[in-house]
Structure 1
Amino acid sequence: MLKVLKFGGSSLADARQFAKVKSIVEADPARRVVIVSAPGKRFSGDHKITDLLYLCAAHIKYGVSCEDIFAMIRDRYNEIIAECGLHISLDKEFDALWDKMKNGISQDELASRGEYFSARLMAEYLGYEFVDAARWIKFKFDGTVDQDASYEALRSLAEDRRVVIPGFYGVMPDGHIRTFSRGGSDITGALAAAALGADVYENWTDVSGILMADPRIVDDPEPIRRVTYSELRELSYIGAQVLHEGTIFPVREKNIPLNIRNTNAPDHPGTMIMESIGDEMEEGGFITGIAGKKGFSIITIAKTGMSSEPGSLLKILNVLAKHEVNVEYLPSGIDNVSLVVSSDKVSRSLYEMLGELQKEVQPNKITVTEHIAIVAAVGRKMAYRPGVSGKIFAKLGENGVNIRMITQGPEELNIIVGVEEKDFEQAIRVLYNSFVKENVV
């Protein structure tokens, strides 16, 4: 059994959090590969180490001294060393980094040092080997990861060993350090899990899994216990803030379960993400999660006999493609079709686009409905559960939410409704309270 663990910045903010990580790792002998982020905020108003490093880079770029900021970074690590009782010293490495900063250093390399120093300390703390991410994560010149070369390199460095690896960065073919986008330590962890064929990839953060609804809208929503990769992608696409998108693909490709856990509540099972779960849902409910977002418009094109006119839909889509407008959803009837599009995307060329649609399709009528929000209820085999759609529509109607659009994905994963933006939060609360909270209680 092999578990690969990734700990986020909040899990490594100070010595107290370091101690929690050590306790978690030592609780299971299968936890042999640990990926770490740079220390995050210790309290409201504090600074993430990575933010301070980017600030140093900006100061260097404009010829402004960053000596005080660099001292803050150095002090943070030395505090962790002292409070964890470590014997390691990073003074020579900090001195060398400071010299390099004065003589020229790339922003990527400077930003990567947060994870690098964090991993050095954690390796010492756990008694594990330190493996630099630059020794195995190989970027191509186009900025994508060379997975074959990276996987082979990590297997030779870490297989059957207990190691700590810094997240967030790798190396270009010319030897220069390159970082992922922010949150990229998640990707490092996923790549490590895939490379080593882990049985589980544990992603430790400051929440007990993925929540069933946005906590800014719903009070204290329940965490999702189990979810498929497909359901997670649906929730992410419709607006749920879950994982860095690049995190999913390496482990999904290898069919490795991904477990989202809370460093501050290690006994909570969190959310388990798997390729397949089966047809059963969690006890008492049929909805895995509820998500949504605002900022949509609906362009409805009506024409008598449209369904029997070959190529009419293609003409419509070609006009939108010409203006680089993506169609999010496409509900349709016999003599009409509705195009759900991003309001921001169409605002630049709406009237020009409507003129071209009038010319190409010659419809009886074109209407544009603005200020629309999309809300989706996501779950497994929803199309085969009698009455689900009716229950959703009835509950929304009972609570004064006017439905402007309805569609259901053919993958049986979701039921999507369009509502007025003023009803967005209410729609999510109604669905959660009616189909999740009532079953939990």
Structure 2
Amino acid sequence: MKVIKFGGSSLASAEQLKKVLEIVKSDSNRRFVVVSAPGKRSSEDTKVTDALIKYYKHYTANQDIVIDQEWIIDRYKSIIDGLALSSTILDEISTAIKHLATFPKENNDFLYDTFLAAGEDNNAKLIAEYFRKEGLNARYIHPKQAGLIVTSEPGNARILPSSYDKLEALREQDEILIIPGFFGVTIDNQICTFSRGGSDITGSIIAAGVKADLYENFTDVDGIFAAHPGVVEQPHSIKELTYREMRELAYAGFSVLHDEALIPAYRGKIPLVIKNTNNPSHPGTRIVLEHSGTSSPVVGISGDDDFVSINISKYLMNREVGFGRKVLQILEDLNIRFEHMPTGIDDMSIVLRGRELTPIKEQEILTQLRHLEVDELSIERDLSIIMIVGENMKSHVGVTATATRSLSEAGINLMMISQGSSEVSVMFVVKTESEKKAIRALYDAFFKN
């Protein structure tokens, strides 16, 4: 039994949907189909989700919304016409899009989520209609009916544990169920969306809920590459990753799959495979609990920018009981999340994502840290984090030495280096201007030979 999820690029046009149909028809085990909203048909195009955001903004600002409604409806119409579907489904979608403008604007915490979810919900109805027209025993099912009951946290919904019992009952259905991704329904019957990569999260939840044998995530690339193809020319694709390795790579910039989407499938011990809608015969990349055979010490290299470091120096810091706790308390009081904290005996660096340090918070944190009577205090910006990842690094001597040597030979200065006790990854902090050069140097060191 397989759960299969298609991203926006896979559902952007009638031509793409024809490919999706063939993929589903080719394997009778593909019983659950999770779908996104239609994505871009070209780089200049607009995603339906982005059009819905624009529609929401105009509606809540009491501006004209007719053009927004017509654009969204016409986008679905172009797909419906291309698939030669009846006008009934267009009428249903048109009514649903216009109905969004009847919801109350005031004191409605879930209005934005309701607008956004319309992209996936209406696309699921369209796809179910298309599948039936082509002879498949398919049925659209709303997340509420499916059992996707979530917490009341707009834009950051989490599945309620009690939902999994109802989701498991879906195994008994003999139809192909078409499920809209990205959102669930609260106990109070409100539409509530997941965070970034929401449709991936839905697919992962469904896979865990129905105890699937495999969760297939179809996108527009042949799996996951060892490095970003925009940085390294023709990097090789990774055949197999563990969940821990994927989590590390996703954290540091790999955008094929959002790391939060891994959690339900990981806990349900469901293997996952990333595949290409436009090249379905390619094996893609499997994500598993443990490697099925031998693997290279480094499976991938990723990088992400927009980090800042708060650097603190205080003589005899290591002898002052509770100093670290006081620093962390300041961060907690200001609702600031930190990413890493490399330390020395008299030094401490707190690495944050740049978005965490607003101008007001920056001034406040500097003021409060000075109250701890530190000797030196500075903030360093324009930093990037680069990760080399691989669970087999712990059984290979010299991985870090190879990495630092390659960076040195490329003339790249290391600001910081850190490795956790699990030895799944090694983190390097460099200036952002050197990020791409560093990734290429590391790729050459571990993969070119």
Q: Shorter-chain TM-score category?
A: 0.7 to 0.9
> Does 1:417 find its partner at 2:402?
no
Partner of 2:244: 230
Q: Please say which of residues 123-132 and 342-351 is displaced more in the overlay.
A: 342-351
1-structure distance, mates of 2:367, 2:158 = 44
Q: Is residue 181–residue 199 contact of structure 2 (8 Å, CA) maintained in 1?
A: yes
- Read off the aligned partner of 1:129 and give its amino acid letter: R
- Identify which range, 64-73 or 204-213, moves more after superposition: 64-73
5+ residue gaps, structure 2, are 105-110
Which of 123, 127, 142 is the equivalent residue of 2:128? 123
The 3-state SS of whatever aligns with 1:74 is helix
Q: CA deviation at 1:200?
A: 0.8
Q: 1:101 to 1:34 in 2, by over 3 A?
A: closer
Q: Deviations over 1:122-147 (max 9, x none)?
A: 22333212212232322234554453
Normalization by structure 2: what TM-score? 0.85
Provide the rounded CA distance (Å) in 2 between the counterparts of 1:417 and 1:134. Answer: 44
Structure 2 residue 84 is matched with structure 1 residue 85: yes
Report the CA distance between 1:202 and its aligned residue.
Answer: 0.7
1:265-280 alignment, distance < 5 Å: 265-277=279-291, 280=294
Q: Quote the Cα distance in structure 1 between the aligned partners of 2:319 and 2:30.
A: 60
Report the count of equivalent residues: 433
Find 1:239's aligned residue among 237, 250, 253: 253
Q: Does 1:289 align with 2:276?
A: no
Cα displacement (A) at 1:359: 5.4
Q: Counterpart amino acid of 1:185?
A: S
Q: What's 1:330 paired with?
A: 341
Partners of 1:350 and 1:34 in 2: how far apart? 46
Question: How far 1:315 sits from its partner (Å)?
Answer: 4.2
Deviations 1:181-223 (A, max 9, x none): 4532222211111111001111111122223223332233333
- On the 8 A contact 2:402/2:445 being kept in 1, the answer is no
- What are the superposed Cα offsets for residues 71-100 of structure 1, whole Å, 9 maximum, x if unpaired? 333333333333323347224424533663
Deviation per CA, 1:37-82: give whole Å up to 9, x if none: 1211212322222222333333333333333432333333333333
Conserved 8 A contact 1:226-1:271: yes
Q: How do 1:361-400 and structure 2 match up within 5 A?
A: 369-400=380-411
Shift of 1:399: 1.2
Q: What SS does the corresponding residue of 2:391 show, helix, strand or coil? A: coil
Unaligned runs of 5+ in 1: none
Alignment map for 1:191-270 (pairs within 5 Å): 191-270=205-284
Number of the residue aligned with 2:108? none
Residue 352 of structure 1, CA deviation: 6.4
**1:181-200 maps to which residues of 2 (within 5 A)?**
181=195, 183-200=197-214
Distance 1:180 1:351, change over 3 A: closer
Q: What is the letter of the counterpart of residue 51 of structure 1?
A: D
Distance 1:351 1:100 in 2: 46
Structure 1 residues 302 and 428: alpha-carbon distance in aligned structure 2, compared to 1, 3 A threshold: farther
Relative distance call for 1:269 and 1:99 in structure 2 (3 A) is closer
- Residue 112, structure 1, aligned to residue 122, structure 2: no
Alignment-derived partner of residue 24 in structure 1: 23
Range that drifts further, 258-267 or 116-125: 116-125
Closer/same/farther in 2, CA of residues 184 and 361 from structure 1, 3 Å limit: same
Structure with higher Rg: it is 1
DSSP-derived class of the 1:328 partner: coil
Letter in 2 for 1:385: H
Find the aligned partners of 1:308 and 1:173 in 2 and give their Cα distance.
52
Q: 2:144, 2:184 within 8 Å by CA — same for their partners in 1?
A: yes
